C-alpha cells in the first residue's frame, strides 16, 4: 500500500503518525513535509495546491490512498482532479468544500437544511454593512466569507470594533479576497464544541468531541488565531448531545449537499455553540481541524485507515464501532512571538531528546524547518505538544511540562487550555 498525505502542518503530522500506526508496512509520502513528518514519509516536492502536478505524480506512482489535510487544496479541486484519474482520495470535491470556502454559501445551505445557526446577513459593500451593524448593535460577530486561515471570524464586543472590523475587511482588504464578502451574525453564548464526522455523503460516523481555544491570550482574550490548543474528550458531552448533533446538524446538511449535486465525502467538521436552546452551528469546515486532530487521534485505538479507505474508494462508511482509549489528551500549541500578527521566523528550536521519549507525550510539528543541522521556526504556530493521561489533569500536566521544556526565542503559549473543563466537570445543559 502506498499512502500520500497532502499538507505539511501539525494536523498532517498527526494524520501521518496515526496512519503509520494503522499500516506500518505501507509506503508513505508527504508533500513538502515539515521536519517531523520527514521522519515518517518520503518527500514529494510538489506544493499542496498544485492539483494537476500531484494527480499526475500519484497516478505514475500508483498511490493507493491520498489523504488531504488543507482546506486550500480541497477548495482548489484536488479531489476532482484525482477522481478524474480514478485515484482513491479522502476529501470532498471543490463544490462540496464550498461549505468552508464560502461562509455565505454555508449559511444559505443551513437555512435550506433547517440547521440551527446564528441569524445573519451577508454584505459586499461597506455602505450597506454599516447601517445594519449599527441597527443590530454589539456584541456581534463579523466574518470574512472566504478562507482566512482560521483568523477571519471576529467577535466584536463593541459597536466601534464591529464597524472597524467590517470596514477593514470590505474596504482595506485585511484578509484579501477572503474578506470581499462578509457575514455579520448574531453573537451566541454557550460552550464551544468541535465535532468531526467521517461521511460517505449520506451516513456519518462521529469521532470523539473536542474543544478548541481560538484566542491568543489566556482567559480567551485577544485576537482569534488558527487555534492555540484543544483537548478531548469533553467531560460534559454525553450520548444525547452527540445524537442531537448527528441528527440536527450533520444529516440534514449532508442531505442538502447531496440534493444540490455536491455530495460530501470525507471529513466534515462542525464548529458548534452549545446554547441553552441546544446546539447551533458556528461554522463548518471541510477537513480535519487543527489543533483538535492532534488531541483526538492519539486517543483512537481503532484504525483510522479502515474508516477512510471505503469513503475514498466511493463506498459506504458503514457502522463501525470505534474504540477509544480511556483517559484524555490535551494539546498546547507553541506559537511564534507576535502571532497571529507579523512574526519573525528562523528562531532556533531546542527540544530535549529525552522529552520525545517521555511517556504520554507527543510533539507534532507545524511551522518548522531545518537550517543545516538546526531546527528553526517557520510559521506562526510552531509545535503542538500533546499530553496523554489517565485523566485530563494528567494530560494537562504532561502537555505543560513539554511546553515549558521546549525552547525558542519568542515562544508563546496558553497555560489554560481546558480551563472550562477544570472549572466545571458537569454539563452546562442537557
Clarify whether residues 286 and 203 are in a common domain. yes
Same domain, 333 and 418: yes
CATH number for the domain spanning 343: value is 3.90.600.10
The CATH number that applies at residue 21 is 3.40.50.20
> Which CATH number does the domain housing residue 256 bear?
3.30.470.20
The reply to whether 216 and 299 lie within a common domain is: yes
Q: At what angle do helices 126-136 and 159-170 cross, to 10 degrees?
A: 160
Is residue 98 domain-resident?
A: no
Asked whether residue 266 falls in the same domain as residue 302, the answer is yes
In a domain, 290, yes or no: yes
Q: Does residue 255 share a domain with residue 279?
A: yes
The pLDDT value given to residue 424: 58
Alpha carbons 233 and 193: distance in angstroms, whole number: 10
CB contact at 8 A, 55 and 76: no
Number of domains in the chain: 4
d(CA 329, CA 108): 35
Q: Note the pTM of the prediction, 2 decimals.
A: 0.93
Tell me if 101 is assigned to some domain.
Answer: no
Q: Is residue 75 part of a domain?
A: yes
Domain contains 383: yes
Domain match, 199 and 230 both: yes
Q: Could you say which residues of the chain have pLDDT below 50?
A: 425-430
Given 180, 199, 215, which residue is the final one in a domain?
180
Peptide bond into 278 cis (omega under 30): no
Say whether both 348 and 285 belong to one domain. Answer: no
On whether the CB atoms of residues 272 and 193 are closer than 8 A, the answer is yes
Among 164, 159, 107, 161, which residue's Cα sits nearest to residue 135? 159
* Domain enclosing residue 404, as ranges: 328-423
The C-alpha angle 24, 30, 34, rounded to 5 degrees, equals: 105
Do 211 and 306 lie in one domain? The reply is yes
Cell numbers standing for residue 376: 528553526
DSSP track, 65-128: EEEE--HHHHHTTHHHHHHHTT--EES--TTTTHHHH-HHHHHHHHHHHT--B--EEEES-HHH
For residues 17 and 57, membership in a common domain is answered with: yes
Of 248, 280, 312, the position where a domain reaches its end is 312
Q: Is 82 inside any structural domain? A: yes
Q: Among 31, 65, 91, give the residue marking a domain's end.
A: 91
Alpha helices in 138-211 (DSSP H): 159-170
**268 and 176 share one domain:** no
The verdict on residue 321 lying in a domain is: no
For residues 253 and 216, state if they share a domain: yes
In a domain, residue 322? The reply is no
Q: Are residues 140 and 171 in the same domain?
A: yes
Amino acid at each position: 500500500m502506498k499512502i500520500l498525505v497532502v499538507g505539511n502542518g501539525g494536523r498532517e503530522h498527526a494524520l501521518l503518525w496515526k496512519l503509520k500506526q494503522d499500516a506500518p508496512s505501507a509506503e508513505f509520502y508527504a508533500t513538502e513535509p515539515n521536519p517531523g513528518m520527514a521522519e515518517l514519509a518520503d518527500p514529494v516536492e510538489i506544493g499542496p495546491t498544485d492539483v494537476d502536478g500531484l494527480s499526475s505524480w500519484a497516478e505514475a506512482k500508483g498511490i493507493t490512498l491520498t489523504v488531504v489535510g488543507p482546506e486550500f487544496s480541497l477548495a482548489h479541486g484536488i479531489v476532482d482532479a484525482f477522481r478524474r484519474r480514478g485515484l482513491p482520495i479522502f476529501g470532498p470535491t471543490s463544490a462540496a468544500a464550498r461549505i468552508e470556502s464560502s461562509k455565505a454559501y454555508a449559511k444559505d445551505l443551513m437555512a435550506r437544511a433547517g440547521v440551527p445557526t446564528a441569524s445573519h446577513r451577508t454584505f459586499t459593500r461597506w455602505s450597506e454593512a454599516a447601517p445594519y451593524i449599527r441597527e443590530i448593535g454589539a456584541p456581534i460577530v463579523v466574518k470574512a466569507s472566504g478562507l482566512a486561515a482560521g483568523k477571519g471570524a471576529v467577535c466584536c464586543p463593541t459597536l466601534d470594533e464591529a464597524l472597524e472590523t467590517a470596514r477593514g475587511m470590505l474596504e482595506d482588504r485585511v484578509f484579501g479576497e477572503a474578506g470581499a464578502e462578509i457575514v455579520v451574525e448574531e453573537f451566541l453564548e454557550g460552550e464551544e464544541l468541535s465535532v468531526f464526522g467521517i461521511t460517505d455523503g449520506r451516513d456519518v460516523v462521529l469521532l470523539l468531541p473536542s474543544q478548541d481555544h481560538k484566542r491568543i491570550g489566556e482567559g480567551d482574550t485577544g485576537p482569534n488565531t488558527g487555534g492555540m490548543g484543544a483537548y478531548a474528550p469533553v467531560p460534559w458531552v454525553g450520548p444525547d448531545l452527540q445524537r442531537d448533533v448527528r441528527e440536527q446538524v450533520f444529516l440534514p446538511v449532508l442531505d442538502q449537499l447531496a440534493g444540490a449535486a455536491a455530495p460530501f465525502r470525507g471529513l466534515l467538521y462542525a464548529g458548534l455553540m452549545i446554547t441553552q436552546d441546544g446546539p447551533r452551528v458556528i461554522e463548518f469546515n471541510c477537513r480535519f481541524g487543527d489543533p483538535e486532530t492532534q488531541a483526538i487521534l492519539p486517543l483512537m485505538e481503532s484504525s483510522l485507515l479502515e474508516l477512510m479507505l471505503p469513503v475514498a474508494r466511493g463506498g459506504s462508511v458503514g457502522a463501525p464501532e470505534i474504540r477509544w482509549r480511556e483517559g484524555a489528551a490535551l494539546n498546547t500549541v507553541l506559537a511564534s512571538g507576535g502571532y497571529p500578527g507579523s512574526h519573525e521566523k528562523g528562531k532556533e528550536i531546542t527540544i530535549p531528546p529525552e522529552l520525545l521519549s517521555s511517556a504520554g507525550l507527543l510533539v507534532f510539528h507545524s511551522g518548522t524547518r531545518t537550517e543545516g543541522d538546526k531546527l528553526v521556526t517557520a510559521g506562526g504556530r510552531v509545535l503542538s505538544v500533546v499530553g496523554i493521561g489517565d485523566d485530563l489533569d494528567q494530560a494537562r500536566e504532561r502537555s505543560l511540562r513539554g511546553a515549558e521544556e521546549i525552547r525558542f526565542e519568542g515562544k508563546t503559549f496558553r497555560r489554560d487550555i481546558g480551563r472550562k473543563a477544570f472549572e466545571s466537570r458537569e454539563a452546562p445543559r442537557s
